[in-house]
Chain A
Amino acid sequence: MSAFPIIRIITKLLIPYILLFAFYVQFHGDYGPGGGFQAGVIFASALILYGLVFGLEAIQRVAPPIVIEKCMALGVLVYAGTGILTMALGGRFLDYNVLEHHVLPQWHIPSGQHLGIFLVEMGVGITVTAVMTMIFYAFAGRKQTQ
Chain B
Amino acid sequence: MNFIVFAILALLAITAVAIAKLRELWAVIMFTGIYSFLSASWMIILDAPDVAFTEAAVGAGISTVLMLSTMALTGKAEEIPRKKSLVPLFVVIVTGATLVYGTLDMPHFGSPDAPVQVYPDPSFVKRSEADMHGLPNVVTALLASYRGYDTLGETTVVLTAGIAVLLILRRNDEKDEPTQLAGNKTP
A residues adjacent to B (C-beta < 8 A): 25, 29-38, 41-42, 44-45, 48, 52, 69, 72-73, 75-76, 79-80, 83, 93-94, 96, 111-114, 116-117, 120-121, 123-124, 127-128, 130-132, 134-136, 138-143, 145-146
Contacts and interface: CB of A to CB of B under 8 A. Distances in A.
Given A73-B159, A131-B162, A117 B144 contact: yes
A110 B65 CA distance: 37
B137 A31 contact: yes
Contacts of B172: 142
Given A48-B65, A128-B158, A143-B73, A96 B50 contact: no
A80 B159 CA distance: 13
Contacts of B165: 134-135, 138
A124 B155 contact: yes
B107 interface: no
A42 B57 contact: yes
Q: Report whether over half of chain A's contact residues are helix, strand or loop; otherwise say mixed.
A: helix
Given A94-B148, A132-B62, A142-B69, 8 more contacts: A34-B50, A37-B54, A41-B58, A42-B57, A75-B159, A117-B140, A123-B155, A130-B162
Contacts, number: 147
A29 B173 contact: no
Contacts of A96: 145, 148
B137 A145 contact: no
B143 interface: yes
A1 to B, nearest CB: 12
Interface string B161-187: 111011001101100100000000000
Interface string B120-135: 0000000000011111
A69 B165 CA distance: 12
Contacts of A141: 169, 173
A42 B65 CA distance: 14
A36 B158 CA distance: 12
A69 B156 CA distance: 14
Contacts of A33: 49-50, 53, 137, 139
Contact of B137 (A30, A44, A94, A139): A30
